[in-house]
Amino acid sequence: MVDTSEKVPTHRTAVASCIVEMAPETLELIKNDQFQKGNVFEVARIAAIMASKRTPDLIPMCHPIRIDSVDIRFSYVSDTRIQITGTVKAFETTGTEMEAISAVGVGAMVVYDMCKSVDRGMKILELQLVEKSGGKSGHFQRQPETD
């Protein structure tokens, strides 16, 4: 485990995102809150927040940190895709990137789990760090990909 004991705490923020691709009919069921297990986005939001807090239990050598804020958002990208975006903030000696990535990854897995009864062909795509700030390495922002 990396020694962070001599590092000065700074305000740190990380934003991660991923895409869940599904059949148009599945997305309509989500929009209309028609899944027996409950509201897909609300269950996935709670799981994502919980995952961010449990990241050190999942990722070896990941420092436990005191998270100050977790914000999980869902947006409709197309008639077959949703995007999950997670923002994690902390005043810490180490970053929040893994917490943000864990959050949106688990959120996407919950969407899959809740909807698999009607669509086993769903895909989880483009799990990635979008932006991070704070700490010695400074600011990072993913640049849009060009075709």
| 3 is an active site residue | no
* C-alpha triplet 125, 54, 124: angle, nearest 5°: 10
Catalytic residue, candidates 79, 113, 119, 147: 113
Nearest partner of 96 among 69, 127, 125, 72, judged by Cα: 69
Tokens of 75: 């947006």
DSSP 67: E
Q: Which residues are catalytic?
A: 113
